[in-house]
């Protein structure tokens, strides 16, 4: 569904991504794991159009989206839940959700999606009139995912969804992600520092180090790889 | 390569020499004027007068067997530009004398440059007394602020205005000077200053000051400013329902005052240097010549002073018998009763001219002569 | 007392113009986090457009005045969008300082081009009375129709702007970008369209400000934007930059303080200094401005 070929991104003179290639098949959950500064977030930002790539191509459903601006990429059904959630802090939960459906013009569809999102995240329903800035970290993360779902994406990119969440909430959130993937057929590209968790929910994984993919394979295989265990899974 | 290149660099060098020799045949006179910008109307007038005088002098055969060449630099009416312009005229054009500026603030920029270079400078119309105090090479052909301020104070007292307000531009040496001497004579003569307000050069809104003046209840308002702001002040005064007369100095005299001010400037009074309605043959000849030269335009005071400034310079050069700066300066200082279009010009020990002032008013959208006040 | 009330009327009219210009500064800052220093020249161009049209339109009529006002607003909107498209957009994403210096460059360029004798020239020109001029008197208080036009038009435009910001799709997009540009793009907001719209709106208001200013102080020239632009910038900071009601409030406070200082004998020379002193005092007490929200600068 998404094919990244030889993608390179630079911040000034520093290469953040250096010839990264991978494929995300329709219906799957693929994860990118790696340490700080490995290039995981950069990959997602380049795919969603927030960053300009210096080389390489990105195709989505067979069409080249490498040079498209972010709003056109979203319009094709590729949604990005950024690192740090980036909810609109001064807007209410309801307003945040309606911002998520920015490109949807049909009010009936918007209403239907909101019901759906609130069913998935019942806690947001209790907080609809509250401004997003006053929510807890876990609630903000749910709002960020919910906002992305309001656009009716075919493909969801999640950047560090577990960051700063209590372990109980992390489990709950990953359950929801699996649900979204299984029952709604949304393809997921997941970036996680928590490699153990990421490998548990995904079917295929790539390991990034210093802007290059150093290891790839089915998640179950990688989970038992001794090198990976030593580096990311804490022995 | 070096040898090959050499012949190429020679011709321009010879050309420069030839040009230098050619330049010796004329006497270069520099002029710094506000041809554009806020006080462009003044600069244009004085420039047209000066140029006409130079043309008259050249037609009459020039001075010392040479013709004059007037080199003019525009300072855009901006502070800080005049000194640069003067330096350019001195170093690039090697002028023997500088004419200009109209505005005192800008003449005060040129004066130190001329004094340092020991090149005579004649201001046509800067009336602030400090201009010529800069040094022994700085002259003027107009009366000075103490005189103008005094004249307007006498005028106010004569009109029976017992209580007046002043509105002075603190960023203008001219305005402050006029205000000071007005106050001295007016209060000594028994008048009361009911309100004193100030503004700065770039101001457009005077309603605050005028509201306060209105509350003070005065017979007239003395505004020694330049025509642009004076027109706005008049307009805003009328808008606030202030109907008392406004009066000021020669800074008011410009047709732009009538254009911007419209009906609001009807009945204002101001002092100036000459009247184009003066019946003296010399004045009428000048008015006719000016009209012929400049599309029927009637010369105002700035034009007449510009004209006289060049004539006074030529007269001194004739008497000195040379364009040499030191002798020219001495001849200028010795000028006595030179008959110009703005009256007889005598240069006093402070290098100022003493002459009579004319009072004008605005009537039916035109300037009208009221009376003449002698020194 | 009458004098004080009269000064308040004067201050209100002056402050309304500052407010109109300040809105442009504040909207652009809210979205792009930089000060568009060319804004004061857009204001000046607005006045010059109306001046030019004044040569063809009948004077002292309501429709003639409105035509000039709308034309100046449209012209300025086009100018603002063009400046953004040609100059600021290619620099987007580079250091804020670069954009800031470029903005000053654009400002000087516009001044210089208009000072060329073939375009306008440096000499001030009288501005025609486009709207009917009537003086209103009420118990010793006087207000000219041009003062009233300023207050009414400014109030109307500020209300319209508030409606645009809070009741329209474009307004929601503007607020979303102001809050978080990346998140706004990720939900599908076309940031370029919104930025162009912001420049168009801000510049149109500056154009209206220019016309209203020229109606009250009827002498126009290419440097006329410098001082009002600076004051409006102060007003925007005073009210809390990025805040629309803040800009309006800042403009009114500045106009009033300046007028009250200008009317007093001891202070009239220092009225500009006093206006800036007020700014400093308010910023010392409330660093984010009167209605601004304290936000940590993003690195």
User: B10-143+279-356 falls under which CATH superfamily?
Assistant: Response regulator (3.40.50.2300)
At residue B10, does pLDDT exceed 50? no
- Mean pLDDT computed over A199-212: 92
**pLDDT tens string B313-332:** 999 999 999 989 999 999 99
For residue B24, the model assigns a pLDDT of 55
Domain that holds residue C98: 2-225
- The two tokens of residue B105 are 């603030």
Which one is predicted more confidently, B278 or C53? C53
- Mean pLDDT computed over B38-60: 92
For residue A56, the model assigns a pLDDT of 93
- Tell me how far apart the alpha carbons of residues B36 and B211 are, in angstroms, rounded to a whole number: 33
Name the residue in chain C with its Cα closest to that of B239: C144
Chain A CB within 8 Å of residue C173 CB: yes
State the pLDDT confidence band at B235, using cuts at 50, 70 and 90.
very high
Which one is predicted more confidently, B18 or A216? A216
Percent of chain A with pLDDT over 70: 99
Domain B146-272 adopts which CATH fold? Rossmann fold (3.40.50)
- Tell me how far apart the alpha carbons of residues C224 and B232 are, in angstroms, rounded to a whole number: 14
- The two tokens of residue A16 are 């953040």
Chain A CB within 8 Å of residue C296 CB: no
Does C183 sit within 8 Å of A82, measured CB to CB? yes
Q: Please name the residues between 71 and 130 in chain B that touch chain C, using a CB distance below 8 Å.
A: 76-77
**pLDDT tens string B161-191:** 999 999 999 988 889 999 999 999 999 999 9
- Mean pLDDT computed over B263-291: 91
Chain A CB within 8 Å of residue C61 CB: no
- Tell me how far apart the alpha carbons of residues B68 and C6 are, in angstroms, rounded to a whole number: 58
At residue B67, does pLDDT exceed 90? yes
- Mean pLDDT computed over A22-28: 93
Strands A63-64 and A55-60, sheet pairing: antiparallel
- Domain-located, residue C6: yes
For chain A, give every domain's residue range.
Answer: 2-232
Using a CB–CB cut-off of 8 Å, the residues of C that contact B are 2-3, 6-7, 10-11, 13-14, 115, 117, 121-124, 126, 135, 137, 142, 144, 146-147, 213, 216-219, 221, 224, 226-227, 258-265, 268-269, 271-272
State the pLDDT confidence band at C297, using cuts at 50, 70 and 90.
very low
Percent of chain C with pLDDT over 70: 98
- Tell me the nearest-neighbour CA distance from C144 into chain B, angstroms: 6
Percent of chain C with pLDDT over 90: 51
At residue A195, does pLDDT exceed 60? yes
**Beta strand residue intervals within C54-211, DSSP E:** 125-126, 135-138, 141-144
Among the partner-chain residues C179, C186, C191, the one whose CB lies closest to the CB of A89 is C179
- Mean pLDDT computed over B329-336: 94
For residue A11, the model assigns a pLDDT of 85
- Domain-located, residue C8: yes
Among the partner-chain residues C6, C124, C135, the one whose CB lies closest to the CB of B228 is C124
State the pLDDT confidence band at A234, using cuts at 50, 70 and 90.
low
- The two tokens of residue A39 are 């290039």
Run of H or E residues at A97: helix A93-100
Which one is predicted more confidently, C133 or B248? B248
Overall number of domains in chain C: 1
Name the residue among C57, C46, C59, C71 with its Cα closest to residue C214: C46
- Tell me how far apart the alpha carbons of residues B117 and B90 are, in angstroms, rounded to a whole number: 8
- Tell me the nearest-neighbour CA distance from B15 into chain C, angstroms: 33
Average pLDDT in chain B: 89
**pLDDT tens string C183-218:** 999 999 999 999 999 999 999 999 999 999 998 888
Q: What is the dihedral of CA C6, C256, B193, B166, to 10 degrees?
A: -110
- Tell me how far apart the alpha carbons of residues B369 and B375 are, in angstroms, rounded to a whole number: 18
**pLDDT tens string C71-96:** 999 999 999 999 999 999 999 888 88
Other CB atoms within 10 A of residue B366 CB: 10
Among the partner-chain residues B170, B228, B256, the one whose CB lies closest to the CB of C269 is B170
Does C3 sit within 8 Å of B204, measured CB to CB? no
For residue A197, the model assigns a pLDDT of 87
Q: Give residue for tokens 């995904």.
A: A202
For residue C299, the model assigns a pLDDT of 28
What are chain A's partners, defined as 3 or more CB pairs within 8 angstroms?
A: C
Please determine whether the domains at B10-143+279-356 and B146-272 fall in the same fold group of CATH.
yes
Burial B174-207 (b: 16+ CB within 10 A, else e): bbbbbbbbbbebbeeeebebbbbbbbbbebbbbb
Does A82 sit within 8 Å of C185, measured CB to CB? no
For chain B, give every domain's residue range.
Answer: 10-143+279-356, 146-272
- Mean pLDDT computed over B132-147: 92
Assembly ipTM:
0.90
Q: What is the DSSP string of B199-240?
A: E-TT----HHHHHHHHHH--SEEE----HHHHHHHHHHHHHT
Domain over A2-232 is classified CATH 3.10.450.50: no
- Tell me the nearest-neighbour CA distance from A229 into chain C, angstroms: 34
- Identify whether the C-beta of residue B259 lies closer than 8 Å to the C-beta of residue B241: no
pTM of the complete model: 0.80
């Amino acid at each position: 569904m998404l094919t990244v070929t030889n993608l390179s991104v630079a911040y000034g003179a520093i290469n953040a991504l250096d010839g990264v290639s991978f494929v995300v098949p329709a219906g799957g959950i693929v994860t990118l794991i790696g340490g700080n500064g490995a290039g995981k977030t950069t990959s997602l930002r380049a795919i969603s159009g927030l960053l300009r790539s210096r080389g390489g191509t990105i195709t989505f459903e067979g069409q080249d989206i490498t040079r498209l601006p972010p709003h056109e990429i979203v319009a094709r059904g590729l949604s990005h839940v950024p690192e740090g959630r980036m909810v609109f802090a001064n807007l209410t939960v309801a307003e945040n959700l309606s911002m998520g459906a920015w490109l949807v013009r049909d009010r009936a569809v918007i209403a239907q999606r909101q019901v759906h999102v609130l069913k998935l995240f019942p806690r947001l329903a209790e907080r609809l009139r509250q401004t997003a800035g006053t929510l807890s970290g876990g609630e903000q993360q749910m709002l960020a995912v919910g906002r992305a779902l309001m656009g009716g994406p075919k493909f969801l990119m999640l950047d560090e969804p577990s960051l700063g969440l209590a372990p109980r909430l992390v489990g709950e959130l990953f359950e929801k992600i699996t649900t979204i993937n299984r029952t709604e057929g949304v393809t997921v590209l997941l970036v996680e520092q928590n490699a153990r968790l990421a490998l548990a929910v995904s079917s295929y994984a790539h390991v990034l180090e210093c802007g290059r993919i150093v290891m790839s394979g089915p998640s179950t295989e990688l989970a038992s790889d001794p090198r990976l265990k030593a580096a990311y899974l804490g022995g | 390569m070096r040898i090959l290149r050499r012949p190429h660099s020679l011709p321009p060098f010879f050309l420069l020499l030839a040009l230098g020799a050619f330049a010796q045949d004329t006497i270069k006179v520099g002029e710094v004027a506000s041809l554009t910008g806020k006080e462009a109307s003044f600069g244009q007038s004085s420039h047209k007068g000066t140029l006409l005088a130079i043309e008259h002098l050249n037609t009459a055969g020039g001075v010392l067997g040479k013709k004059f060449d007037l080199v003019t630099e525009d300072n855009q009416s901006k502070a800080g530009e005049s000194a640069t312009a003067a330096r350019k005229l001195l170093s690039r054009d090697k002028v023997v004398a500088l004419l200009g500026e109209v505005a005192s603030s800008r003449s005060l920029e040129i004066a130190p440059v001329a004094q340092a270079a020991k090149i005579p400078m004649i201001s046509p119309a800067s009336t602030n007394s400090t201009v010529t105090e800069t040094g022994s090479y700085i002259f003027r052909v107009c009366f000075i602020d103490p005189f103008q301020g005094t004249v307007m104070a006498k005028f106010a007292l004569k009109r029976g205005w017992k209580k007046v307000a002043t509105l002075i531009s603190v960023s203008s040496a001219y305005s402050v000077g006029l205000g000071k001497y007005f106050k001295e004579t007016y209060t000594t003569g028994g008048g009361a200053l009911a309100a004193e307000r100030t503004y700065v050069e770039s101001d457009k809104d005077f309603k605050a000051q005028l509201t306060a003046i209105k509350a003070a209840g005065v017979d007239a308002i003395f505004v020694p400013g330049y025509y642009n702001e004076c027109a706005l002040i008049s307009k805003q005064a009328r808008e606030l329902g202030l109907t008392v007369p406004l009066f000021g100095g020669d800074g008011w005299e410009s047709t732009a005052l009538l254009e911007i001010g419209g009906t609001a400037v009807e009945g204002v009074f101001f002092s100036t240097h000459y009247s184009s309605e003066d019946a003296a043959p010399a004045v009428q000849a000048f008015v006719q010549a000016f009209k012929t030269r400049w599309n029927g335009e009637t010369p105002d005071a700035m034009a007449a002073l510009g004209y006289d400034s060049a004539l006074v310079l030529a007269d001194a050069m004739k008497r000195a018998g040379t364009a040499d700066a030191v002798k020219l300066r001495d001849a200028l200082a010795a000028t006595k009763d030179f008959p110009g279009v703005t009256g007889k010009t005598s240069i006093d020990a402070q290098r100022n001219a003493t002459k009579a002032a004319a009072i004008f008013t605005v009537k039916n959208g035109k300037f009208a002569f009221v009376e003449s006040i002698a020194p | 007392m009458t004098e004080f009330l009269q000064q308040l009327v004067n201050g209100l009219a002056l402050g309304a113009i500052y407010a109109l210009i300040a809105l442009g500064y504040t909207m652009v800052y809210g979205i792009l986090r930089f000060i568009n220093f060319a804004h004061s020249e857009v204001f000046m161009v607005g006045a010059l457009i109306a001046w030019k049209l004044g040569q063809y339109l009948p004077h002292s009529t309501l429709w003639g005045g409105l035509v000039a006002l709308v034309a100046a607003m449209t012209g300025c909107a086009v100018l603002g969008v063009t400046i953004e498209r040609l100059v600021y957009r290619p620099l987007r994403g580079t250091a804020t300082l670069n954009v800031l210096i470029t903005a000053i460059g654009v400002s000087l360029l516009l001044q210089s081009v208009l000072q060329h004798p073939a375009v306008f020239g440096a000499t001030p020109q009288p501005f025609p009375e486009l709207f009917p001029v009537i003086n209103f008197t009420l118990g010793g208080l006087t207000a000219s129709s041009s003062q009233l036009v300023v207050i009414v038009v400014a109030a109307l435009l500020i209300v319209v702007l508030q409606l645009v910001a809070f009741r329209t799709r474009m307004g929601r997009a503007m607020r979303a970008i102001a809050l978080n540009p990346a998140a706004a793009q990720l939900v599908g907001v076309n940031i370029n369209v919104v930025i162009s719209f912001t420049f168009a709106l801000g510049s149109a208001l500056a154009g209206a400000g220019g016309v209203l200013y020229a109606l009250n102080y009827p002498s126009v020239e290419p440097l006329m934007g410098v001082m009002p632009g600076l004051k409006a910038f102060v007003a925007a900071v005073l009210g809390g930059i990025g805040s629309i009601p803040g800009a309006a409030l800042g403009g009114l406070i500045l106009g009033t303080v300046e007028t009250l200082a200008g009317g007093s004998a001891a202070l009239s020379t220092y009225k500009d200094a006093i206006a800036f002193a007020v700014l400093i005092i308010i910023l010392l007490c409330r660093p984010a401005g009167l209605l601004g929200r304290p936000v940590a600068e993003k690195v």
